[in-house]
Amino acid sequence: MQKTRTALIAGTSGLVGGHCLQLLLNSDRYDQVVSIGRRDVPVIHPKLDQKVIDFDELPKYKANLAADDVYCCLGTTIRKAGSKDAFQKVDLAYVKQLAELALSQGASQFLVVSAMGADDRALFFYNRVKGTMEKEVTGMGYDSVHIFRPSLLLGEREEQRTGEELASKVMRPLSNLLIGPLEKYKPIQGETVAKAMLHAAAQDKKGVHIYPSDDIEDLARSAG
């Protein structure tokens, strides 16, 4: 008898998370998909169990975090968060606590969206926070950790991100010029990142795996 599998996903109101949720619901790998967020998303599916939670009190919801694979698509910007501290809370503290609690509930794989240039010793605050997050989750004891470092993300978002919209207008015409070592700087669709995440999880590879943007593209293509 085939083992039933549960996926836990956080961040479904975001670009990558929204695509990831749809792919999880359509995947034969999972019998149940648990989505946690500050509000429900307008999706109805027999496999979907939505939990409205307060991330500031995440330990209260520990019993709802039981899953095999965790897809963490949490993320914001300093501008949207309102301050560096608020940004760090979402992109580091929430991610770290989610990973810890899900691990304690039996999760074996943790898949997380990070950013190109993530480095805990980086000069830029954004990259340093992302790098610190990566360092934290890779040291927790998961069987598998998959870290996705996309470049500029393309796709329709719920909220406007003016800076990213301007950057995408500049970068799109230049994409064909970014070849060889520069390929990892090409803008990438949010849906592509989501496809790569599911394909990586399905391989059930042990250890820590880090995917720069060009590897994410390759992974998504191999998923078919």
Q: Cite the active site residues.
A: 126, 130
As a whole number of Å, the CA-based R_g of the chain is 17
3-state helix, strand, coil in the chain (%, to 5): 50, 20, 35
Which helix (H) or strand (E) covers residue 86, if one does? helix 84-88
Please check whether residue 216 is in contact with residue 150, taking contact to mean a CB–CB distance below 8 angstroms.
yes
Cα atoms found within 13 Å of the Cα of residue 63, Cβ hemisphere only: 1
Tell me the backbone φ, ψ of residue 111, rounded to 5 degrees.
-120, 125
